[in-house]
Structure 1
């Protein structure tokens, strides 16, 4: 499906949603489908096929949840609410050095 013919905001929201889905899938898969089986093999406890299938399902659920949240956050009503009440999450104004969440006021 192409982004042609869509409004720029809608196309951008779609790209952000797809990027989030990809990032969440990579994260969930790396932990649930690689790290946990490797750790259990090191501990000499092999995963059964049903346990591995459960990890696949959890990875899918994590990916779907992250994708849904990203899509909801792209809705105009949610964006407007964020701009009003959570400006530090707003996409309209990038963080500056003084807005850095990790900076202390004593510097």
Structure 2
């Protein structure tokens, strides 16, 4: 965690996504707290560079951002997903009824 938190922006990002919870006064205090924590022999400052890179790639992905916004905006309740499924099912039934009305079975 220490290698993921380098500045107050990192703390804000982790806090907004529900990964980090703090009762300290500010994000700067959280950064200072993590700087003071001993890593017990892990001398490398960047222990998890691949994790950090994958997090940045995930956050910078336009498709994932759009999908997250879509789900957050339109599918906040499970009932909206049920309603979408029901509407899609009814449209398929309507299409089939129209198709078999135009081309009846012999």
TM-score with structure 1 length normalisation?
0.30
**Quick one: higher RCO (CA 8 Å, sep 6+), 1 or 2?**
1
